[in-house]
Structure 1
Amino acid sequence: MPDIAAEARPALSGVLDWVGMGEIEMPVALQADDGRTVSSGARVNAFVNLKRGDVRGIHMSRLYLHVDKALSSEPVTPASIRRLLKDFLESHADLSDRAMVSLRFDHLVRRAALASDNSGWKSYPVSITGVMDRGHFALELGVEAAYSSTCPCSAALARQLIQEQFDADFAAGKPLDRDAVMAWLGSEQGIRATPHSQRSFATVKLRLVPSFADFPIVEIIDRIENALKTPVQTAVKRVDEQAFALLNGQNLMFCEDAARRIQDALDQDERISDFWLRASHHESLHPHDAVAVATKGIPGGYTAVPDGLQSR
């Protein structure tokens, strides 16, 4: 059969930074903390560069078959990503000296309720990107975690209104009746204003030190959620909802506060050589988001661009 990509010359010569296949549908398996293998549906991008201007195209089918073989045979690990990239380059030895693969999938984790004996599944978007550039291997892990953020300014304004209502309902100079005050505190009349809170998202991209065998996805998510204190919940009874309200009241935060909490948590993890993070609060007060971005600040590392897109 004719092979036009191999036989025909390009009408215009020129090297290409990346050529390959985008949005390949594949299953991906990960080793869970308890030893189980967890499978998810993934979208995979597979690319090599085309360093020869006199060649019309690469062998895309080879990329697909390498991805299929790698993801079907074993759970994804840093070592398996490295092997996959080497396979890309070996199959394009005369055409390419750079290779890249990225995986995007949702990782399901069983989460216990805050106070009741219930539990439920929580989905976390995850991305894994590996690049082999002239023998140098780089690996990036990305995760996203949803949390609740209660506005400190709104909380202060609500407290002021409650104070004003208390002053109106309990005149100065008159003795206070404890039972009456307790009943007032439990009424809508007493708590006349509440602070606004919103579903928020912590998005992080990490470069990990090369001495680990598996991707510490859940450990990284736990570190972020423990720093923020208010991760969104799964199974919720009234006792869990009350516990969640208490956590929100004890952890008032602007997006700047959230970003600094995540920054401090990631700075203390010796497995992380560099990071980019974004705290995005999807405001309930107005239709736009409040956003804070931070990096570890490594020379030549991540740049603090708001959208997270980095040049490679």
Structure 2
Amino acid sequence: MQTIMPDIADTAEALQTGTLDWVGMGNIELPLLFSSKGLSDTTVIAKADAFVNLYNEQAKGIHMSRLFLALDTLSCEQTLTPTTLKQVLESFIASHQDLSNAAKVVLSFELPLRRPSLLSGKQGWKSYPVTITASLINNHYQLEVSVDITYSSTCPCSAALARQLIQQAFTEQFAQQQLNFEQVHDWLGSTQGIVATPHSQRSVANIKVKLPSDSQEFDILALINSTENELKTPVQAAVKREDEQEFARLNGQNLMFCEDAARKLKALFEVSHYQDYYIKINHYESLHAHDAVAYAVKGLAQGYQV
């Protein structure tokens, strides 16, 4: 005789009635085969948060194992695309009839990319933290991609102060002399010629964009490339001496406060195809014990807020 196991979520009464916005599971370990335009399908190790709402005020709870199994199917039998992610959400809701009518999933992982050096032609691996958030509410599919992009920022103020000190050192060294080209050239290439350098810091741009609901593919590479090309000083992977020198030149030619970086990216995304965008710039100061931070959003009434 087969024993029927109790299902408390179906049979027990709730201790207190009421609806809940989201109920589910967090930090589910999930290997996924990720598909994105311009990249080979890549295996990533994701952490997943999976939710449905609970609109049935009398229900004790949801069936969390059904969320887990839908994600497991995505992991073992499918490739992660906008379409398969929507199918996961539809499965969440279908498996919770009379309990839920909305679903959400958040997937976070590191995406490894081969990135070329600036001049030498060498390549190296660089990982980008990516978060994909998808929801299905009232049959409306929403899709968001977030990526953290690390770059270098050199302070315009400290660059000006460093130039002033170099001018002062030049004056002190050569004020009473008639100079020729070789003397000036040699001094500029000496330790005495560079008495001060501007301070720069590792910085991070956190970018979130909303994709059209009918998107057929992700395009993480285009999002990363356009941001790095706009900022011009992305952190490097493989570096030879010529790459390091070019990196120093790029920093010197692209001095920026956090406000500058935020405005450059705001202008970039204003003319993009994304439905909405959110930018957070964080310059991890080398001079101060605090950080310099700037935000920018598109400014839609129902869009991203800061």
**Does TM-score exceed 0.5, indicating one fold?**
yes
Q: Deviations over 1:190-248 (max 9, x none)?
A: 10000000000000111112343111101100010000000000011111100100000
Aligned amino acid, residue 225 of structure 2:
D
Q: Tell me what 1:240 maps to.
A: 243
Decide which of 85, 89, 95 is 1:91's aligned counterpart. Answer: 95
Q: Tell me what 2:134 maps to.
A: 130
Matches for 1:1-312 after TM superposition, within 5 Å = 1-34=5-38, 36-172=40-176, 174-270=177-273, 272-303=274-305, 305=306
Q: Deviations over 1:85-106 (max 9, x none)?
A: 1100000011001100010000
**How many angstroms apart in 2 are the aligned matches of 1:287 and 1:139?**
37
| Unaligned residue ranges in structure 2 (runs of 5+) | none
**How many angstroms apart in 2 are the aligned matches of 1:34 and 1:198?**
31
Aligned amino acid, residue 253 of structure 1:
M
**How many angstroms apart in 2 are the aligned matches of 1:32 and 1:8?**
44
Q: Percent identity?
A: 51
Aligned residues: 302
Superposed structure 1 runs of 4+ greater than 3 Å apart: 32-35
Label 1:290 to 1:5 Cα distance change in 2 as closer, same or farther (>3 A).
same
**How many angstroms apart in 2 are the aligned matches of 1:117 and 1:207?**
34
Label 1:128 to 1:53 Cα distance change in 2 as closer, same or farther (>3 A).
same
User: Does structure 1 retain, via aligned residues, the 8 Å contact 2:132–2:146?
Assistant: yes
User: Does structure 1 retain, via aligned residues, the 8 Å contact 2:22–2:53?
Assistant: yes
**How many angstroms apart in 1 are the aligned matches of 2:160 and 2:39?**
47
User: Does structure 1 retain, via aligned residues, the 8 Å contact 2:38–2:219?
Assistant: no
204-213 vs 7-16, greater mean Cα deviation: 204-213
User: Does structure 1 retain, via aligned residues, the 8 Å contact 2:37–2:220?
Assistant: no
**How many angstroms apart in 1 are the aligned matches of 2:68 and 2:25?**
8
**How many angstroms apart in 2 are the aligned matches of 1:267 and 1:82?**
27
**How many angstroms apart in 1 are the aligned matches of 2:263 and 2:47?**
31
TM-score (norm. length: structure 1):
0.94
**How many angstroms apart in 2 are the aligned matches of 1:27 and 1:265?**
33
**How many angstroms apart in 1 are the aligned matches of 2:78 and 2:250?**
40
Aligned amino acid, residue 186 of structure 2:
A
